[in-house]
Amino acid sequence: MENEKQSVALSSVIAAVFITAFKFVVGVMSGSLGIMSEALHSGLDMVAALITYFSVKVSDKPADEEHNYGHGKIENLSALVETVLLLVTCVWIVYEAISRLVSGDTHIEISAWSYVVVICSIIIDVSRSRALSRVAKKHNSQALEADALHFATDVWSSAVVLLGLVSYQFLGWYAADAVAALFVAVIVLIVSYQLGRKAIDVLLDKSPKDTLKIAKEVLTHYPQIRNYHSMKARTAGADTFIKINIHFDPDMNLMEVHQVCDSIEAHIKSQISRCEVFIHAEPEDEIHTLEELP
């Protein structure tokens, strides 16, 4: 698992280095703000890809005495850092685009290389986004998911820049390049919001979507359960942790209770990947707080 995640993350770093250098050279040659904004966007993607690569290496380390729940949240922190980098990109692109539109300095030199770099970028970004998304889903990795979104965003932003180049050269719309750059900024802003919200939710231990619903559904399959309460769930990287207090008949012996708890844990784990379940068994009596099964 670790080799696959690290391999796809490293290949993204290599792809990002190539795309960034290619866009920067062509952007400087042409003076295209659209291509230069893409170069900056890709440059920050390169930094983000490096962060992702190192976070993936660290996140799968097993729990130790100082990190009892593992190192998974480094992936969520990595995703948050990527969000900040994307927002920095937005600020620069918007400032430069508005400056050019206000001053009227919208002249650029378009060559065949302008089209080559954008089309190559789209092809590479589609390939990397699909590969990253596949491995992210397979291993429930938010860092790789964030990286996949970066490359997916590049696909759309590159397409907008390509449209801007065509409009500038063939339709005579000289503000098209700067307008295209503004559209890139909007796309980046939307992706930044999505990434940042998800990363912050995990870092603040927000209950993961549908996890408690799945766990509650599992409990309905066990007639030995009298009641349950204080069900909690949180995630750290790719791992999910669930805690439940379950009430059993006081006359059940310890071995029977233990077997039912093991069965419940196995059942929940079969429904939720990379999940650890902690069950506190209690006798059903008037002393304990009760919560009726739904």
Give one word for 31, left, alpha or beta, with left for phi > 0 and alpha for psi -120 to 50: left
CATH number given to 211-283 = 3.30.70.1350
pLDDT tens, residue by residue, 232-258: 999 887 788 999 999 998 889 999 999
**Comparing C-alpha atoms, which of 280, 271, 275, 286 is closest to residue 225?**
280
Question: Architecture of 2-203 per CATH?
Answer: Up-down Bundle (1.20)
Whether the CB-CB separation of 90 and 11 falls below 8 Å is answered with no
Q: What is the pLDDT along the chain (294 residues), one digit of tens a residue?
A: 457 777 887 887 888 888 888 888 887 777 776 677 767 767 777 777 777 777 777 766 777 777 777 777 777 787 788 778 778 777 877 877 787 777 776 666 677 777 888 888 888 888 888 888 888 877 777 677 777 877 777 777 777 777 777 877 777 777 777 777 787 778 778 877 877 888 888 888 888 878 899 999 999 999 999 888 889 999 887 788 999 999 998 889 999 999 999 999 999 999 987 889 999 998 886 555 444 444
> Would you say how long the chain is, in residues?
294
The answer, as to whether pTM is greater than 0.75, is no
With residue 254 as reference, give the H or E element that holds it.
helix 254-271
pLDDT tens, residue by residue, 153-167: 777 777 777 777 787
Domain boundaries, the chain: 2-203, 211-283
